Structure 1
Amino acid sequence: MAPEITPNTFLTTTGSLSDQKTTIFFISGNPGLIGYYHPFLSLLSKYLDEPKEQHSPNLPSFQIYGCSLSGFEIDEHRPLPSQNNGVDLDLDLEDQICFVQGKLAALMGDGTNGNGNGTVNAGTRQNVILIGHSVGAYIAMEILRRHHEENPESSFDIVGGAMLFPTVKDIAASPSGQKLTTLLSIIPRLAVVVSFLARLLTLLLPASLLRSVARLVMGDPPVHALDTTCAFLKSPRGVRQALYMAADEMRTITSDKWSDDVWGAASAREPIAKLFFYFGRNDHWVADQTRDEIVAVRGRKGGEVGPTMIVCEEGLPHAFCLKHSGVMARKVAGMIGQIVA
């Protein structure tokens, strides 16, 4: 496929066009705008295209893809997926999982259509590596589970994943989760109220003043993040969708929902993916206790098979895509090199 970088899509390749490629499928956090991640994905492509000795002598070529989550699309001259006959529909976490699963199947040309009726030979199956950020890591884990349980005859295998600052368990216990839960108890229709205020703000303020306010609130972010934020605020559905989805995350992301087969643990019957979990310290969306429990219960122990758990010692923030894309891209390139080695 030809490279394509738009406000709603990112697609590029490494190596020559004729190479057999492993697909890196990126899933964003909330708010689900791929524009926040354009520099990260571009740098990841660059680092994976460096001399192979830096990662693995057998490093394949890659197809790197990501798109905005449903309801967050901007600058589109067509009805949003969240609109049905003029009636707005708020999308919850389950809706987003199904949306992302459909995007992955379409990208890979999966002939199963989600019903397990494919006839692809094992020797011709394509390889996919998932990257999920924040709630995107939860979506990635659910796609892993459903792919393993529902699509054993699909046209591709998910061989690994990199979960970055993952909110995969007890998100409401995190500092920001506690604040949001309290706010939702006070203002149950928070998504509607805030989206109305954001709409009013964008209508009253000239574009230049809106941009100045956003820059001040965000602490002088890089241009890509400022452009994406302003487009997000002016989009017809983005703000409401982000808060509606966040509220559903508080209800949905609770206990560990996945078996050893999904985690690729030592007791799994057939480890299906080599996983890396990259946690932050003092992550406002992941409680320290939650992180430590995941590392203790699910992390690799000794020479056993299981996820590689990494706790950041460099002070990288949860929203790494704003100012730390280069550092994170280099780290993820190393993880991918280990997955395909």
Structure 2
Amino acid sequence: MIQAKQKMAPEITPDIFLTTTGSPSDQNTTIFFISGNPGLISYYHPFLSLLSKYLDEPKEENSPSLPSFQIYGCSLGGFEINEQQPSPSQNNGIDLDLEDQICFVQGKLAALMGDEGKGKDTVDAGTRRKVILIGHSVGAYIAMEILRRHREAKPESAFDIVGGAMLFPTVKDIAASPSGQKLTTLLSIIPRLALVVSLFARLLTFLFPASLLRSVVRLVMDDPPVHALDATCAFLKSRGGVRQALHMAADEMRTITSDRWTDDVWGAASAREPIAKLFFYFGRNDHWVADQTRDDIVAVRGQKGGQAGPTMVVCEEGLPHAFCLKHSDVMARKVAGMIGQIVA
């Protein structure tokens, strides 16, 4: 029998977020966060810290208590900004496309869970570890692909993905969104947009002193909170982050088109257990998700008449796509509620 993987010590750096709630001896569930593009986990530090806080708060009297959690997230491949520890994901300067990112994230999850490819039959049913995926924007697409591949894996993995929270998900027809249309037009005019913009960013950071760059970023971003300002300045000064972001975005336009997942991945079939319990949280007037695309997904894939399927919510509070800049608190409360329902 495989022994339970030893829990990792909390670690918060520009490229990693790892913390725990409750008792370390009771942490059988991992919340695995996948960022959007640009894939810097430091944009999400306040959100993940607040999520940890709300999951750890005492619940109302007579309400069931939540289990303890391990909460993990890391920067996507090629976005790492810790120059002291260059990552193999930088791939010798070769830009990573969406498929590369899926494989990168899948590898991070397997390493975190200590999954060495041994079958589920070697793990006692009572000690099997559980994973809840949280994906933001294109991170939701990556999460759905990881869920599909996890379900199809042979031999089966030694942990279960029991649920997911997809936040402002770009899982279908991203090029039809307002920002997707603009980016597609730019790419048709400037085919090597990623290279051009990255060279401009490098020139900008070379010519501008750090204080002036910070002032310009603050002005352009309309006075963002400190964590977002720090992350953006680090992103602009990183070795290849800007180029990686635009290269990946161009591939998203080509790749994220039609719905590519079966009913069991969407959690709408019971042919093979376990079925993951999924939540989709859509924005209203989301510039990366066309209203028609969102409505089609809700109509086709949402719960109907009490049948199994993902819970889909359209935000009525005006939260923006980039919630991690100024709306971490309200989003953390919402996601804590989703997780509570997944593990109930």
Q: Is the shorter-chain TM-score for this pair beyond 0.5, marking a shared fold?
A: yes
Q: Distance in 1 between matches of 2:106 and 2:67?
A: 24
Give structure 1 regions of 4+ aligned residues with deviation exceeding 6 angstroms.
none
Partner of residue 107, structure 1 = 112
The change in CA–CA distance for 1:118 and 1:33 in structure 2 (over 3 A counts) is farther
The change in CA–CA distance for 1:13 and 1:56 in structure 2 (over 3 A counts) is farther
Matched, 1:301 2:304: yes
Matched, 1:233 2:240: no
Aligned residue pairs, count: 337
Report the 3-state secondary structure (helix = DSSP H, G, I; strand = E; otherwise coil) of the residue aligned with 1:334: helix
Counterpart AA for 2:93: D
TM-score, with structure 1 as normaliser: 0.95
Alignment of 1:1-341 (within 5 A): 1-53=8-60, 57-84=64-91, 87-112=92-117, 119-151=122-154, 153-266=156-269, 269-270=272-273, 272-341=275-344
Contact 2:42–2:227 (CA<8 Å) still a contact in 1? yes
The change in CA–CA distance for 1:8 and 1:290 in structure 2 (over 3 A counts) is same
Deviation at residue 21 of structure 1 after TM alignment: 2.9
Report the 3-state secondary structure (helix = DSSP H, G, I; strand = E; otherwise coil) of the residue aligned with 1:127: strand
Q: Distance in 2 between matches of 1:54 and 1:162?
A: 26
Q: Distance in 1 between matches of 2:103 and 2:148?
A: 13
Contact 2:38–2:245 (CA<8 Å) still a contact in 1? yes
Q: Distance in 2 between matches of 1:21 and 1:55?
A: 23
Report the 3-state secondary structure (helix = DSSP H, G, I; strand = E; otherwise coil) of the residue aligned with 1:53: coil
Structure 1: stretches of 5+ with no match in the other structure: none
Contact 1:82–1:89 (CA<8 Å) still a contact in 2? no
TM-score, with structure 2 as normaliser: 0.95
Counterpart AA for 2:152: E
Q: Distance in 1 between matches of 2:228 and 2:295?
A: 31
Q: What does the per-residue CA deviation read over 1:120-150, in whole Å, with 9 as the maximum and x for residues that have no partner? A: 2333210000000000000000000000001
The change in CA–CA distance for 1:312 and 1:151 in structure 2 (over 3 A counts) is farther
Identity of paired residues, percent?
Answer: 86
Contact 1:214–1:229 (CA<8 Å) still a contact in 2? yes
The change in CA–CA distance for 1:100 and 1:55 in structure 2 (over 3 A counts) is farther
Contact 1:55–1:337 (CA<8 Å) still a contact in 2? no
Structure 2: stretches of 5+ with no match in the other structure: 1-7
Q: Give the root-mean-square deviation of aligned CA atoms.
A: 1.6
